[in-house]
A = this chain, B = another copy of it.
């Protein structure tokens, strides 16, 4: 993975090794659904593929300094957790389910969300915030993870993703 800090090129590009480009839209703010974009973007970067993650809607929590260290998991609405749905709303249930999932993730050697984001930035990945979502939540660039390159409008996102495999999570 090369980066754009290297010597200038004749045509502007992101310095990737192939023509392939992938753009992940991270729209969820739960602990479980934070990982698909991170894992796939990381794998793509390892293959020399240009990779972008665009954080929008609830996904903004993944790069909001106030929330990114504390994403939660709830079994509510997800019967695939094999936990009775009536229990999911009890006090402490979200905290317990979150704790258990964090432990399982750590045991696999997978980094927590903030460390994973930094890894992706270090590998040349590009992180972007959605302008409309940021406006809705009253967030500016200072409120966001330092690795975020900028806040993009929907139009800018559409332009950025020309020719990309777009994956909405």
Contacts and interface: CB of A to CB of B under 8 A. Distances in A.
Contacts of A28: 80
Contacts of A36: 25, 27, 56-57, 168
The quantity of this chain's copies bound in the complex is: 3
Contacts of A128: none
A84 B169 CA distance: 23
B108 A79 contact: no
A108 B84 contact: no
Contacts of A132: 39, 108, 110
Interface stretch (A2-10, A143-151, A158-166): A158-166
Interface in A13-57: 20, 22, 25, 27-30, 32-33, 35-36, 39-40, 42-44, 46-47, 49, 56-57
A116 interface: no
A155 B88 contact: no
28 contacts: A28-B80, A29-B80, A30-B78, A30-B80, A33-B57, A36-B57, A39-B132, A40-B157, A42-B154, A43-B157, A43-B158, A44-B158, A47-B159, A58-B78, A58-B80, A58-B81, A61-B80, A74-B77, A74-B78, A74-B79, A76-B88, A77-B78, A85-B88, A85-B89, A86-B89, A89-B89, A104-B136, A108-B136
- Going nearest first, the 4 A-B pairs with the smallest beta carbon separation are A77-B77, A29-B80, A43-B154, A72-B79
